[in-house]
Amino acid sequence: MTDKSIKTVINALAIITMLAGLFGMLFCFPFLWSARMEDLVGAGFPFVGGSILFGTGLLTLGLFNRQTNK
């Protein structure tokens, strides 16, 4: 594989990771407004997991595509 194809694959995986995290956060968001403790706990952990996925994908895109001064 060439450097360009590896960069394309990593960028695609980072975007897919961000979309999975965003979907997880959006899916759990309505349950965070519940008055039941079970709903809060059941939605809180996946929401945190989704935010970790989203943040990791964002960091990967930022660090992998940065321009270095040569």
Q: Per-residue confidence of the chain (70 residues) as pLDDT tens digits?
A: 888 898 999 999 999 999 999 999 999 988 888 889 888 888 888 899 999 999 999 999 999 888 777 6
Q: How many other CB atoms are there within 10 angstroms of residue 49's CB atom?
A: 15
Q: What is the pLDDT of residue 69?
A: 73
- The set of residues, in sequence order, having a beta carbon less than 8 Å from that of 40 and lying 6+ positions away, is 31, 32, 34
